[in-house]
Amino acid sequence: MFFSREAIDAIDYMPVTQQVKKRCKWLYEFSTQVLAPLPGSPADPFGGARVDINALGWALACVSSRAFRTRGPSHPAALLPLVDMANHSFDPNAEVLPVEGGGVGLFARKKMSAGEPVLLSYGKLGNDFLFMDYGFVMGDNPYDVVQLRFDPGLLQAGALVANVTDALGAPLDLSPAAGGGAAWRGALLAELGLVGPAADTELRIGAAEEPLDPRLLAAARVLAARSEGEVAGRGAARLCAVDRPLSRGNEEAALRAVGGALVLALGGFGTSLDQDLALLGGSLPPSPPAPAEGAAPAPAPTSPLLRLPGGEDEALAVRFRAEKKRALQRGLARVAELVRAASGDAGLKQTAGAGRAPKGSKPAPSTGKGFGGGGKK
């Protein structure tokens, strides 16, 4: 829950880094502004004992790791002594249940042998919560995701990375106003909840059930549409149907833009997954290859993240960011799968109303760069 400055830097994932800093800020302010003046005052509930930031942090950690809502999410949580001796698993062999008289009990869910670890499920939690509240992460966590904030510029940048072009070979314009479509694109993006005063722009990538956020693909389909007719009559539910393309041209453009956006997100980390795994294995990542004769020497890696973890909390932070990269890779694998499916679907129509090359000329070929490869466009 509480980390050194080096460990906070090693997290390298802004949503959690900000949350950890907020907790530290709250602890400091509450302990200095509220708790420090209490001793000797009529409002002191601690009998004169001084409760400082360390004691408050310990208490918060206890509540976070030992409180269970045994009677449902709408009921208050209860502190359960010794429950932290049971580790977390998504395939638990025990569970905590309420019993008569207001108590709780620990019950086996299957036959257990003497000496076998008692495992509980703390819930269907991603690594963000496990990392911050319990101090561990789960490898290949099916509920772990990477949070991306929607912005049309994200998909436009992704389209540039993936070299998505229109029928004339020019970079595909994915701005909402492209081709005078601001009104109908804006209306559909609002229906998806991605723009407007009540918008929820947080997208989730990497969940095992569906690694690709349906709203991200839906937005890409809307922005890749060259005419209102391509999306007319298709509401949010239809646009969010990941495995139901609108047309071949629209789907390939949308998927490649999404894939490019995920590549940009992956490149936003200060290290690669391979580098993280090397650090966790106790070795520094290999140096860049020697330059050719006469060429300028390659710069040595200077990122502060390319250092061996200095303690358990730093190693935990490296494991955490490595799992975030795996989540993005799951998203990219899903994009590649959908690209192959769209390319191989003989019954999928080309985009209605797509721009055509001038008569007598040949449209520029689609680039081979991108995600999923294979298949003629």
Q: Which residues contact 191 (CB under 8 A, 6 or more apart)?
A: 235, 236
Q: Let me know whether 333 and 187 are in one domain.
A: yes
In a domain, 156, yes or no: yes
Q: Let me know whether 267 and 333 are in one domain.
A: yes
Other CB atoms within 10 A of residue 202 CB = 14
Length of the chain equals 377
For the chain, how many structural domains are there in total? 3
Q: Let me know whether 231 and 160 are in one domain.
A: yes
In a domain, 369, yes or no: no
User: Angle CA(262)–CA(131)–CA(200) in degrees, nearest 5?
Assistant: 50
Distance, in Å, from the CA atom of 191 to the CA atom of 240, rounded to the nearest integer, reads 11
Q: Let me know whether 157 and 273 are in one domain.
A: yes
Distance, in Å, from the CA atom of 261 to the CA atom of 248, rounded to the nearest integer, reads 20
Q: Between residues 257 and 105, which one has the greater pLDDT? A: 257
Domain boundary among 68, 101, 122: 68
Strand, coil or helix: what is 78?
A: strand
Average pLDDT score over the chain: 88
Domain boundary among 116, 136, 156: 136
What percentage of residues in the chain have a pLDDT greater than 90?
68
Local confidence band at 98 (pLDDT 50, 70, 90 cut-offs): confident
Q: For 298-307, give one letter per residue: b (16+ CB within 10 A) or e.
A: eeebeeebbe
Contact 298, 288 (CB under 8 A): yes
Q: Let me know whether 189 and 316 are in one domain.
A: yes
| Candidate from 121-125, 220-224, 276-280 with smallest mean pLDDT | 121-125
In a domain, 124, yes or no: yes
| Candidate from 106-120, 133-147, 358-372 with smallest mean pLDDT | 358-372
Q: Let me know whether 160 and 257 are in one domain.
A: yes
Amino acid identity at 334: R
Local confidence band at 4 (pLDDT 50, 70, 90 cut-offs): confident
In a domain, 246, yes or no: yes
Q: In angstroms, what CA-CA distances link 25 with 11, 298, 317? A: 18, 41, 20
Local confidence band at 351 (pLDDT 50, 70, 90 cut-offs): low
Q: For 251-283, give one letter per residue: b (16+ CB within 10 A) or e.
A: bbbbbbbbbbbbbbbbeebebebebbbbbeeee
Q: Let me know whether 197 and 324 are in one domain.
A: yes
Q: Let me know whether 244 and 193 are in one domain.
A: yes
Residue 286 buriedness (CB in 10 A; 0-12 / 13-18 / 19+): exposed
- Domain around 28: 1-68
Local confidence band at 101 (pLDDT 50, 70, 90 cut-offs): confident
pLDDT tens digits for range 199-256: 999 999 999 999 999 999 999 999 999 999 999 999 999 999 999 999 999 999 999 9
Per-residue pLDDT, 365: 43
Q: Indicate if the pLDDT at residue 48 is higher than 80.
A: yes
Q: Let me know whether 159 and 198 are in one domain.
A: yes
In a domain, 111, yes or no: yes
Q: Let me know whether 50 and 192 are in one domain.
A: no
Phi (first) and psi of residue 212, to 5 degrees? -105, 125
Q: Let me know whether 184 and 236 are in one domain.
A: yes
Per-residue pLDDT, 270: 94
